[in-house]
Amino acid sequence: MTSSAPPSEQTSPLAWDADDRQAVTYLRALAMDAVQSVGNGHPGTAMSLAPIAYLLYRDYVRHDPSDPSWPARDRFVLSAGHSSLTLYSQLFLSGIGVDMDDLRSFRRWGSLTPGHPEFGHTPGVETTSGPLGQGVATAVGMAMAARFERGLFDPDSPDSPFDYRVWVLASDGDLEEGISAEASSLAGRQQLANLCVVWDDNRISIEGDTALAFDEDVVARYRSYGWDVHEVDMLDNGDVDIAAVDAALRASAACTTAPSFIRVRTTIAWPAPHARGTSKSHGSALGDDEVAATKSELGLDPSQDFAFDESLLERIRSDRATRGAAHGATWAMAIDAWRASHPERAALLDRLTAHDLPAAMEAALPSYESGTAVATRKASGDTISALAAVLPELWGGSADLAESNNTSIAGAKSFLPEETATSSPFGRVIHFGIREHAMGAIINGIALDGLTRPFCGTFLVFSDYMRGAVRLAALMQTPSTFVWTHDSIGLGEDGPTHQPIEHLWSLRAIPGFAVCRPADARETSAAWLAILRRREPIGIVLSRQGLPVLDTEPTSVLDGVHAGGYLVRQASDPVATIMATGSEVHLALQAADGLAREGIEVNVASLPCLEWFDQQEQSYRDAVIRPDVRPRVAVEAGSTIGWHRYVGDHGAIVGLDHFGASGEASVLFSEFGVTAESVADATRRVVAAHSS
């Protein structure tokens, strides 16, 4: 039932016996039963993909069922997340966290088998998938992470214990989404030979035949991307040609120069007598009569639900456990030999595995002189390069905006398959091209690997193009860092198409996601330190224009930024509090200086990260925004929508609830009323109103 030789060394025809055929038969029935039991879901794809997924886990996906997080495992990504039963059934067969009761509770509250696979919820699920195309792009990040880590730990060995492959099952819908095209194009350029995408070409979507909207030559497209391409037609009866799939997978595993793309023609919901090949079978329960008829077609008892022969299940699990143990033993010998030969690299691996950071980080931060003008995007670039000197795991790049985003690492080579004076397969500077959405998902894929710390950059306004990936980062809580520069009307002449207005609060609205908008160069460096210590998804939002370095104590800045907010000006008896983020903090301080000359004493709070600030103890928050000081003013050069929670009924907000314009930054701030005088006027009003 199990092949003994590694896939790349197999030359004989596929060994596929009665046990394998019967296992696939049961899997098809389980897909129908699980959806029928809950009354909704996607049975058809899970039915037709059952033999392919079974073959992958039997012979190709290197894993150890006793240790789902084994670092040397291959990664399996079900990009077609709606067919989650395809994955759950293989976890069930492998004995990885999912049992028959979990399949019975499919899509129900509290189950390990939610409607779409969720990373961190079900053992063996490598990434949350379901938003189509995200899985393909995330898998590209995983493949890139494997290559980068090879360079960190074992760059010179022909075969390394750090090599792994990434296997993807993708649907028609995945390949219709633009994000998959962006990521696949980059994967071809990167020659990611450890990546294989299997396309389930069933030509059915919810609205009917995919030809309604999708009739391009996908195979030719992937050839043009530089992929190693294979095509597998279905059998005459409409079933999967599993022997041909095996041959294509073997060829993929043997390819060392390009990612592999395997087109497999399938019949959705095969062998259901009436539902096969129909759009109804994509996203609806088949119905009791059709389920019974299909079980009869499969040679199963129609009266039995959730059936699987116990002795067969035991044999499959035993085979997979034996295979996994053999992989584990071979890897353990290899990693022990590697450790003995590379003690310094082994120490690095141990540090990264433990998610520890070197003590030298804080000392590595750049220093800045008070009063000098430094754009926070430049300070971020300075900090990235400084920290990279002590953090070899830090790497990333930008969507063709590295010079604007300041997302390069000084002296580092580009991450490219060619070894040149400026590039290396193990380089630290990623060139994503103008592919923001794929860039975000790729960063998530790298972060999911768990060892390195990736970042990516673009303009804040283009965070819209990558929002799906940012939301998934928040769902999965991956340590993905998104660098967003040109954060307001302060970018000036590029005009309203490039000036973010609603973006800060739109991003703050994502649960589990943090937005950090530092006020100056010192806060920017402190923010990077906090990001690396926190290991959570975050967007750091930075200015294009130079901002004055505030006259604050470096220690208080580090502590204050880590807490998400702190007082940058504290009056002995304040009558109001002015709070601000980013480039508007210095406006708040200017306003406070002018008010003080009038005898109006105010506190000024810098709140670079509201999410971090809200996590602090109430006593700390009350010390920054005093509850007994009711007059409050918030200033931020963007939408005002969320500030009401902080200023309360006695407060005012200085901001922008309209689009910007093309013009010099200083003119725009003046014309749109985001000035120190506007802040002072608002403060006078709220103080007077409270006093009356």
Return the residue matching tokens 């804080």.
Answer: 362
Report in angstroms the alpha-carbon separations of 585 from 367, 514, 540, 635, 674.
Answer: 19, 19, 16, 8, 11
State the Cα–Cα distance between residues 373 and 498, nearest whole angstrom: 23
Active site residue 310: no
User: Coil, strand or helix: which one is 683?
Assistant: helix
For 60, which DSSP code?
A: I
Distance CA 479, CA 446 (A): 9
Give the other-Cβ count within 10 Å of 83's Cβ. Answer: 31
Contact status, residue 300 vs residue 29, Cβ threshold 8 Å = yes
- The Cα–Cα gap between 595 and 602 comes to 8
Compute the distance between CA of residue 188 and CA of residue 180 in angstroms, rounded to an integer. 12
CA distance 32 to 41: 9
431: three-class secondary structure by DSSP:
strand
Q: DSSP letters along 480-521, please?
A: -EEEEE--SGGGGGG-TTT--SSHHHHHHTSTT-EEE--SSH
- Tell me the angle at which helices 134-153 and 178-190 cross, rounded to the nearest 10 degrees: 20
In what order do the strands lie in the sheet containing 632-635?
566-569, 602-606, 576-580, 632-635, 651-654
Q: Give, as one character, the DSSP assignment of residue 57.
A: I
Residue 251, phi-psi category: left (phi > 0), alpha (psi -120 to 50), beta (remainder): alpha
Whether the bond into 343 is cis, omega within 30 of 0? no
Catalytic residue among 436, 523, 536, 584: 436
Q: Which two tokens stand for residue 366?
A: 């750049």
DSSP SS3 for 434: coil
Residue 423's beta-bridge partner residues? Answer: 414
Which is nearest to 504 in space by CA: 493, 491, 515? 515
Q: Letter for the amino acid at 61?
A: V
H or E stretch at 166: strand 166-171
Give the C-alpha separation, 266 to 45, whole Å.
9
- Judged by DSSP in three states, 195 sits in strand
Q: Which two tokens stand for residue 37?
A: 């039991």
- Helix spans in 226-368 (H): 242-254, 280-283, 288-298, 310-341, 343-353, 361-364
Percent helix / strand / coil, the chain, rounded to 5: 45, 15, 40
> Rounded CA gap, 94 and 314, in Å?
10
Rounded to the nearest angstrom, the gap between the alpha carbon of residue 253 and the centroid of all alpha carbons in its chain is: 26
Cβ-count burial 424-435 (b if 16+ within 10 Å, e if not) = bbbbbbbbbbeb
Copy the structure tokens of residue 462. 């283009």
Rounded to the nearest 10 degrees, the angle between the axes of helix 84-94 and helix 43-55 is 40
Strand pairing class (195-201; 166-171): parallel
Task: Please enumerate in sequence order all residues whose Cβ is within 8 A of that of 218, keeping only pairs 6 or more positions apart, or say none.
Answer: 175, 199, 201, 263
Query: What whole-number distance in Å separates Cα of residue 105 and Cα of residue 124?
Result: 18
Catalytic residues: 436
